[in-house]
Amino acid sequence: MTVKKKQINDLLKSASEAANLIREYIEEEKTIHVASHYDADGLAAAGVIGKSLVRLGGRFRVRIERWLDENVVDGIATAGKTALTIFTDFGSGDLNLLGERLSNRRAIILDHHQPVGETPSAFVHVNPHLHGIDGSRDLSGAGVAYLVAKALDKTNVDLACVATVGALGDLQDKYGKRGLGGINETIVEDAVSSGLLKYETDLLFFGRETRPIHKVLAFTTNPFIPGISGEEDASYAFLVQRVGIKPKSKDKWLALRDLSEEEKKKLFSAIADHLASKGLPSDIALRLIGNVYTLTQEEPWTPLRDAREFAVLLNATGRMEEPSLGVAICMGDRAAALERANTMLVEYRRTITKCLNWLNEKPSRIQELNSIYVVRGENFIHENLIGTVSSILSTSLPKHEKPIIAYSAVSGEGLIKVSARALDILADRGLNLGEILRIAAEKYSGKGGGHDVAAGAQVPIESMESFVELVNELVKKRLEEKQLGG
Ligand code: C5P
Ligand code: ZN
């Protein structure tokens, strides 16, 4: 989508309004509550706002939540009547709830989810969708936060890297060569001109500069390479037997950067053949080539150097219930916070591999219906991890014309957490998962929403089968309607 100048100006104007309100509160020495979403983009958004507030000497607190509901909003309401609340990376889908529970409160929403309902009158709402800009691809929650940070003070331009990480965390690399586009692209340019980021086209493996190649292959989950992702030993054997590359030379492990162009091509073709042999469409292999975003000021051996890996690290902290580590790292903490986050990352990767193996053990766990795949995480996959699992499966199941509806039980709450993902081809055909999940969840007294290609819902567990069946029908109907309408 081409973003017009007027749309950008209107968005920037609302970012300035938000910045002005923040300044007012800081000048009056009033507390600011930042509430943000627990995924990589949400943590990056909270980090961007947190760092900007520190720089202005603001008094603030950050809380990270998996979603907004009555309890969370009531908690915020009792936290301080005179405080300003800033919601980042969520809020736009819950305008009515916020209006009911926080009426007459001053609050700011910095989000990129599809807005649902009316913005409460005392709120400043910054969201690309309100200006005709695509919030699923062109700007992330961290990106919106960055626009406000920049409006607060030009020196915050160094936070453009964190906003880039947020956009990649939300899988917004949907432009050519898996690049960021739209307003994200201008944020990337800010980071590049500040000397903090570079990008180039290469094989998109994590740890290209420093890690042994077999580990690098095993760490790759987008796309998911069956039999290699998460499997270091199998990945080692693949390199030696199928590609003809020895991972070790004279006691030294080779990193990807040690390979010649010729060897890289051989590696790529071997993986492409391997993916084809697993029945995956040919365009999946192409996801392995694209823009690599490198944070040039980060130490080469840390997961912060590659922006996509940085995002995985943030997800690990958020989803393994240590989100404050992720926020602290986005605000510039390294040392102990990074060390602890690294441990979470190892644990997170191990757990995800375990979940994927478990799903593949029984065919009933990944079931193909007429129009969707249903992935049944039941009580085995933690609700915090079902989103990651769903994203990984979206590139590894054979039929790309079917979206994935994955769910897990939320322990002790009588709910299922649903995470739905679709590839872009379906959004191009008019499918909007955010809308479908919202309609289906509301029919069964649940709550749903999100973006066209990535959406979520919480639904009472007893309605699970009916909910899944309704989503199956709605997807079918929507795609047929679109086909008939051309
Ligand atoms: O939780 P999951 O990662 O699957 O969510 C996908 C997207 O849908 C996220 O951006 C999330 O914020 C959004 N979502 C939503 N409303 C819900 C659940 C998820 O907007 N009830
Ligand atoms: Zn987001």
- In this prediction, residue 395 carries a pLDDT of 85
Structure tokens at 411: 């322990």
Q: What is the DSSP letter of 448?
A: E
Backbone angles phi, psi at 75, to 5 degrees: -60, -40
- Strand pairing partners for 376? 407
Q: Using a 6 Å cutoff on CB, does residue 112 contact ligand 1? A: no
Q: What is the pTM of this model?
A: 0.94
What pLDDT digit, counting tens, does each position of 6-32 carry? 999 999 999 999 999 999 999 999 999
Ligand 1 pocket mutation, candidates 41, 43, 67, 452, criterion most atoms within 8 A of CB: 67
Q: Measure the CA–CA gap between 387 and 171, rounded to whole angstroms.
A: 12
Q: Using a 6 Å cutoff on CB, does residue 58 contact ligand 1? A: no
3-state secondary structure of 460: strand
- In this prediction, residue 484 carries a pLDDT of 65
Query: Dihedral angle at the C-alpha atoms of 403, 404, 410, 414, nearest 10 degrees?
Result: 60
Q: What is the DSSP letter of 247?
A: S
Structure tokens at 220: 């790759």
CA-to-CA dists, residue 160 to 84, 257, 278, 290, 352, angstroms = 24, 27, 39, 20, 29
Q: Measure the CA–CA gap between 439 and 263, rounded to whole angstroms.
A: 50
CA-to-CA dists, residue 39 to 189, 304, 387, angstroms = 24, 16, 9
3-state secondary structure of 122: coil
Q: Which ligand is nearest to the CA of 67?
A: 1
Residues 446 and 468 sit within 8 Å (Cβ to Cβ):
no
E strand or H helix at 190, and its extent? helix 183-193
Q: What is the mean pLDDT of each run of 10 residues along the chain (486 residues)?
A: 84 98 97 97 98 98 95 88 94 96 93 96 97 96 98 98 97 94 98 97 82 89 87 93 89 86 93 91 87 94 91 97 98 96 95 94 95 97 97 88 96 95 91 97 96 95 98 96 68
Residues 162 and 330 sit within 8 Å (Cβ to Cβ):
yes
Residue with the smallest CA separation from ligand 1 atom 12 is 450
- In this prediction, residue 77 carries a pLDDT of 87
Q: Measure the CA–CA gap between 410 and 34, rounded to whole angstroms.
A: 25
Q: Which ligand is nearest to the CA of 390?
A: 1
Q: Which domains does the chain have, with CATH numbers?
A: 5-196 (3.90.1640.30), 205-359 (no CATH), 362-485 (3.10.310.40)
